[in-house]
Structure formats: C-alpha cells, structure tokens
Structure 1
C-alpha cells in the first residue's frame, strides 16, 4: 500500500530529528562536565520525548 503524503512528511521529520541528534552527539566531547549535565537535564525534560511519540504511534 502506498504511503500518504502526510506519512512521508512525518518520516522526513524523523530523519530531521535523527540528523539533529547526530549533530548533538558529535559535539558532546566538546562540552564540559557541567555543560553535559545541563544539556542532559534539558533533553530529559523535553516533551514529547521520542519514546512518547513511538508509544503513540504503536497504540491501537
């Protein structure tokens, strides 16, 4: 079954998020321990999380 335009757009969003996370991951070694902690806390509080979205997609 072919995908709708909306599904394709959402998959492109996932690609964009993955690209952003790769960029963040590449820069982690440049951060101080305090900066890593602050970014970690900020990411942890981000809503919705990737897991939240995955759970919603898998819900029946």
Structure 2
C-alpha cells in the first residue's frame, strides 16, 4: 500500500530530527561536564519528545 503525502512528509521530519541529533552528538565532546549535564536535563525535559510521539503513533 503506497504512503500518503502526509506520511512521507512526517518521515522527512524524522530525517530532519535525526540530522539535528547527529549534529548534537558531534558537539558533545566539546562540552564541559557541567554543560553536558545542563544540556541532558534540557533534552530530558523537552516536550513533546520522541516517547510522546511514539505513544501517539501507537494509538
């Protein structure tokens, strides 16, 4: 069954997020331990996050 344009668009968004995450990972080694902790808290508390999107897709 072919995908709708909307589904393809959403998959492209996922690709965009993956590119952003790769950029973040590339910069992690340049952070101090304090900066890593602060960024990790920021990512942990961001909403919506990947888990909330996965839950919505499972419904």
Structure 1 length normalisation: TM-score?
0.93
| RMSD (CA atoms) | 0.6
Deviations 1:16-54 (A, max 9, x none): 001100110111000001110110011011001101101
The answer for unaligned runs of 5 or more in structure 2 is none
| Number of the residue aligned with 2:31 | 31
| Paired residue total | 59
| Number of the residue aligned with 2:5 | 5
The answer for unaligned runs of 5 or more in structure 1 is none
**Paired residue secondary structure (1:22):** helix
Q: Which runs of 4+ in 1 moved over 2 A?
A: none
